[in-house]
Amino acid sequence: MSALSPIKKIAAALKQSPVLIALLLVVAINVFLALKDPFGRVDPNTIPSAKHWAYWTTQDYLQEKSAPDVVLLGSSIFMNPLWMLEAEHLNRKVDIVVERRSHYLEDAIKKQLPGLNLSCFNFALPGAMVSDDYMIIRTLFKEGKTPKVVVLGLTPLDMTDDDFYCAVSSTHYKYLSKFTQTRDLLDLAMPKPWQRTEFLVNEGLYLAGRKHDVQGSVVGTMRNKMSDYLGPLSAKPITSKEKGDVKDAIYQDEVAPGIWLAQPVGIDYYNDNSNNFRKRYRFATPERCKIKMAWLKKCIDLCKEKGIEPLIVNVALPDPALTILPKGVHDALVKKVESFAKAEKVAYLDLQATGAFNIKDFTDSCHMDASGGRKVMDFVAKEIGKDTRLSAALTRQDSQIAGKARGEM
C-alpha cells in the first residue's frame, strides 16, 4: 500500500474529527470577518443598539444643530436635580430620556453675562463614573460638537463606589467604546490581569470582541420588528413615597421615551436609602480612588487638548450622607480633588462648603430635588460669571477656541 499524500492524510483526519472541522470553520470565519470588518466599515452610530441611557443621550447630543456652549457631566447625583429643575422652570413635564437641554442654566448664565446667547446640555448619566465622562469627551466632543465649557459634577461617592470595580463594568463605557479604539486605555480600564487577558482574547476573536455590537444589533432589530405589536409603557409621575421603587428603577439597563417624566410639582418625600449606600462604600478610603483620580486627570488633559475650559464641582450631600463613608474619608476625598484642581489650574467649586443646602433640598441620601438643583445651577452660573477663564471661553469666538485646540494660542 502506497503512503498517503499529506492532503489525503488531512482529509482522513478531518473525516474522523468533526470537532477539528468545526474549529477550522470558526478560525476561517474569524479570519474572514477580521479582514472584512463589517462593523468597522460603517458609522458606529448606525448599528442597532440596546436603548440604554448612554444611547438616548448620545442621540440627543448628536442631533444638536451646533455644539452646546456648556455641557454638564456626572452621575445621577448631577442629572436628577437638573432634570427636575427643568420641569419646574418650564412649568411642564420634562422627559429626561430625550430632553437634555438645560434652559434654567442658560438663563442663569445670561444674568451673569448679559447679552450672551448660549445653550447648555445635561449629559449626566445614572451611575456614570469619571471614566464614562472621559469617554464622552473623547468620542463625542469632536469638530462641530465641542463645547466651550464642561461642568464636571462629582461627589466623594462617585470616586469610591465599590459597585463599579472597573471602567468596562459600565454600560456607558461599553457603548461609547464602539466610537473609538480603546487599547491605549487598557491599564486604567482593566486594572486586573484577567480583565486584560479577556480584552486581548476578544481582540483576536472578531465575534467575541464585537459581541456587544452583535447583541445590540440583534436586540435592536428584534425590538424594531416587534414595536408594532407591543403597547407603550405607561408614564406616571414620580412624586410620592409609593413611587420610591419606581424612582430606583432609573438604573435599569434600558429605558424608553415617555416613562421618565419630571413633574412641575417635584418630589414631595425623602427616601432614606443610606443602608444601601453604606454597603457600597464600606471599604472606601482615599487610596482606593487612585484609578478614578487618574481618569479625572485624563478628563482634564483632554479638555485642555480640545480647547475646553473645565469646571470641577463638588456637589453637596445631605448631612446623613456624610456618615455613609468611613470617618474622615469624605473630607479627605474633597481635599484630594480640590488640590488636584489647583495643581491643574482649573476652576473648582465646592458646594458642600457653601452651607446653602439642607435636607429639604434632597429626595434621598445623595440626590437633590428641584430646589437643590436651583441652588446648584445658581452657584455654577455665578462661578462661570466671575471666573475669567470660564467667562472668556463663552464670550470668545469659535475660531479662537479652535486655534487654542491646535496649539496656536
pLDDT tens, 105-155? 999 999 999 999 999 999 999 989 999 999 999 999 998 999 999 999 998
b/e sequence 34-64, b meaning 16+ C-beta within 10 Å: beeeebeeeebeebbbbbbbbbbbbebbeee
Task: Please state the three-class secondary structure of the chain as a single string.
Answer: CCCCCHHHHHHHHHHHCHHHHHHHHHHHHHHHHHHHCCCCCCCHHHCCCCCCHHHHHHHHHHCCCCCCCEEEECCHHHHHHHHHHHHHHHCCCEECCCCCECHHHHHHHHHHCCCCCCCEEECCCCCCCHHHHHHHHHHHCCCCCCCCEEEEEECCCCCCCCCCCCHHHCHHHHHHHCCCCCHHHHHHHCCCHHHHHHHHHHHHCHHHHCHHHHHHHHHHHHHHHHCCCCCCCCCCCCCCHHHHHHHHHHHCCCCCCCCCEECCCCCCCCECCHHHHHHHCCCCCHHHHHHHHHHHHHHHHHHHHCCCEEEEEECCCCHHHHHCCCCCHHHHHHHHHHHHHHHHCCEEEECHHHCCCCHHHECECCCECHHHHHHHHHHHHHHHHHCHHHHHHHHCCHHHHHHHHCCCC
Of 70-74, 91-95, 122-126, 225-229, least confident by mean pLDDT is 225-229
- b (16+ CB within 10 A) / e for 159-171: bbbeebebbbbbb
Least confident of 90-104, 128-142, 325-339: 325-339
Higher per-residue pLDDT: 312 or 159: 312
Other CB atoms within 10 A of residue 125 CB? 25
- Lowest average pLDDT, out of 267-271, 298-302, 387-391, goes to 267-271
As given in the structure block, the three cell numbers for residue 157 are 461617592
**Residue 329: predicted pLDDT:** 84
Residue 17 has pLDDT above 60, yes or no: yes
Cβ count near 369 (within 10 Å): 23
For the ranges 113-117, 227-231, 281-285, 358-362, the lowest mean pLDDT is seen at 227-231
- Please tell us whether the domain made up of 44-190+235-405 is placed in CATH 3.40.228.10: no
| Mean pLDDT, residues 48-75 taken together | 91
Position with higher pLDDT, 379 vs 24: 379
pLDDT at position 41? 47
**Predicted confidence (pLDDT) at residue 405 exceeds the cutoff of 60:** no
Cell numbers for 377: 445651577
What is the structure's pLDDT at 178? 84
Confidence at residue 99, expressed as pLDDT on a 0 to 100 scale: 94
Q: What span, in angstroms and rounded, lies between the C-alpha atoms of 319 and 50?
A: 38
Q: How confident is the model at residue 397 (pLDDT cuts 50, 70, 90)?
A: low
The span from the first CA to the last CA of the chain, in angstroms, equals 83
Confidence label for 19 from pLDDT (cuts 50, 70 and 90): low
Residue 54 has pLDDT above 90, yes or no: yes
pLDDT tens profile 240-299 = 444 444 444 454 567 888 888 888 886 667 777 777 777 777 667 777 788 899 999 999
pLDDT tens column, 174-209: 899 888 888 899 888 888 777 667 666 666 665 555
> What pLDDT shows up at residue 37?
58
Domain regions of the chain by residue span: 6-36, 44-190+235-405
Average pLDDT over residues 362-377: 93
Confidence of residue 217 (pLDDT cuts 50, 70, 90): low
* pLDDT band of 347, cuts 50, 70, 90: very high
Higher pLDDT, 85 or 215: 85
Chain mean pLDDT for the chain: 80
More confident residue, 314 or 215: 314
pTM: 0.79
351 or 254: which leads in pLDDT: 351
- Contact call for residues 102 and 82 (beta carbons, < 8 A): yes
pLDDT of 334 strictly over 50: yes
Is the pLDDT at 72 greater than 50, yes or no?
yes
